[in-house]
Structure 1
Amino acid sequence: MDSKTIYTKEEEQFIKYWEQNRLKKKKLLKAMLWGLPSGLILFVAILLNFFSGWYKRASMVANADPSLLVILLIAGIIIVAFTVIFSSSHKWDRNEAYYQELINRKINL
């Protein structure tokens, strides 16, 4: 069997793309750009919830302790960093697993 009957057109394109870019995508700095928007959206949602004032008791506690804003910003940075690193490595792992599955399909035939 030739590769035309084993793979669909999309699978062949993915194999070519991943062979060329898999080491580039594993680098941390470029991979961070994948997860940055989701981490920032999560942090902005937390900030909006915190400053919306819908829960009066939480607003009173926040106004009583000025260091709470610093703690919230530090926690936000940690949340964004975790989201960025986790989502980028997860995306790379998914693509790598799919690539290995396609290569093994060709080997097993």
Structure 2
Amino acid sequence: MLSQEDKEFLTWWEANNKREKKLITQLSVGLPLGLAFGFPILLSVLFRGWYKNMPYVSGSQLTVILIAVLLIIVFYAIFRMRFKWELNEQRYNELKEKQAREATITENELS
């Protein structure tokens, strides 16, 4: 028997499956966590005075580092949200199979 939480998830996923798969939605939802992941890296490079043994970073190197950190942030945001989408899709398929099995068992018992 499916729990109330499982039924609510099935309803929600059927309504939001297509929207959650869009790249723009994945970026808008995943970007804050990606920023939380990449922002400390950026801060450690920009404020390099806290670590005395860190080599000097010139302006051209800083540009490359900024681009790399931005790519890390975007990659992390998209990868995380696609992984989350796959997990939700797998959960949805498993619950649908469970629901179909329960319906078959109920039909067999009634026969």
TM-score > 0.5 by shorter chain? yes
Task: Name the aligned partner's letter for residue 35 of structure 1.
Answer: G
How does the TM-score come out when normalised to structure 2? 0.82
Confirm whether residue 45 of structure 1 aligns to residue 40 of structure 2.
Answer: yes
Q: When the two structures are aligned, how many residues end up with a matched partner?
A: 101
Q: How far did 1:52 drift? A: 4.4
Sequence identity, in percent?
37
* 1:14-55 per-position Cα deviation (integer Å, ceiling 9, x unaligned): 100101110111111112122101111122111222214232
Confirm whether residue 29 of structure 1 aligns to residue 24 of structure 2.
Answer: yes
Q: How far did 1:75 drift? A: 0.5
Q: Answer whether contact 2:30 2:80 (CA < 8 A) is retained.
A: yes
1:92-103 matched pairs, under 5 angstroms: 92-103=85-96
**Counterpart residue number, 2:52:** 56
The whole-number CA distance in structure 2 between the counterparts of 1:84 and 1:92 is 12
Q: Deviating runs (4+, > 3 A) in structure 1?
A: none
Alpha-carbon RMSD across the aligned residues, in angstroms, is 1.4
**Counterpart residue number, 2:11:** 16
Task: Name the aligned partner's letter for residue 95 of structure 1.
Answer: N
How does the TM-score come out when normalised to structure 1? 0.84
Task: Name the aligned partner's letter for residue 57 of structure 1.
Answer: N
Please, which runs of 5 or more residues in structure 2 have no aligned partner?
103-111
Q: How far did 1:80 drift? A: 1.1
Please, which runs of 5 or more residues in structure 1 have no aligned partner?
1-5
